[in-house]
Amino acid sequence: DNVDLGDLMFSLCYLPTAGRLTITIIKARNLKAMDITGASDPYVKVSLMCEGKRLKKRKTSTKRNTLNPVYNEAIVFDVPPENIDQINLSIAVMDYDRVGHNEVIGVCQVGNDAESLGRDHWNEMLSYPRKPIAHWHPLVEVR
């Protein structure tokens, strides 16, 4: 049951000397409509995870009434080089609702513990420090 929830494009960039991990949320496409209007009010929530515990979380602004939002927003985390191997990023595209609670449209993960593309993207970032590496990631349902 591979529902198409849409894709998220973001770039990863790591500066080992400064211990700075930057994830730039670029844009999303073909998000699943969450509202009766047939659109969503998406924003992206990024959680910095270490061994299953959430250390920090940041989010982008909310884009109103669109299934193809463009963000171009950078989120920076301080991650010393000795900790970079224990870190994962959990990225959730959320639908903002004024009433009730915000719903998760879909998620993706990057890091050593991530699967396939999420791990490849992470390793590519580590192989090319100081260079932003951007990829599309398909969103999956929250397990």
The per-residue pLDDT for range 37-94, each reduced to its tens digit, is 888 999 999 999 998 899 999 999 999 999 999 999 999 999 999 999 999 999 999 9
Q: How confident is the model at residue 97 (pLDDT cuts 50, 70, 90)?
A: confident
Cα maximum dimension of the chain: 48
Which residue range is the domain that position 114 belongs to? 6-138
Strands in 53-59's sheet, in edge-to-edge order, are: 53-59, 42-50, 87-95, 103-111
Residue 69 lies in a domain: yes
Residue 143 lies in a domain: no
Residue 42 lies in a domain: yes
Residue 111 CB contacts under 8 Å (≥ 6 apart), including other chains: 49, 87, 88, 89, 118, 119, 122
What is the C-alpha to C-alpha distance for residues 55 and 76, in angstroms, rounded to an integer? 13
Written as one letter, the residue type at 69 is P
pLDDT exceeds cutoff 50 at 125: yes
Residue 50 lies in a domain: yes
Q: Which of 5-9, 49-53, 66-70, 134-138 has the lowest mean pLDDT?
A: 49-53
Beta-ladder partners of 137: 8
The pLDDT of residue 2 is 55
pLDDT exceeds cutoff 70 at 1: no
Residue 101 lies in a domain: yes
Number of domains in the chain: 1
Residue 14 lies in a domain: yes
What is the C-alpha to C-alpha distance for residues 90 and 100, in angstroms, rounded to an integer? 23
Residue 120 lies in a domain: yes
Can you give the CATH number for the domain in which 17 is found? 2.60.40.150
The pLDDT of residue 77 is 98
Sign of CA dihedral 34, 73, 90, 9: positive
- DSSP at 55: E
What value does the mean pLDDT of the chain take?
A: 94
Written as one letter, the residue type at 127 is S
27-38 per-residue burial string, b: 16 or more CB within 10 A, e: under 16: bbeebbebeeee
Residue 44 lies in a domain: yes
DSSP string for residues in 69-125: -EEEEEEEEE--GGGGGGEEEEEEEEE--SSS-PEEEEEEEEETTS-HHHHHHHHHH
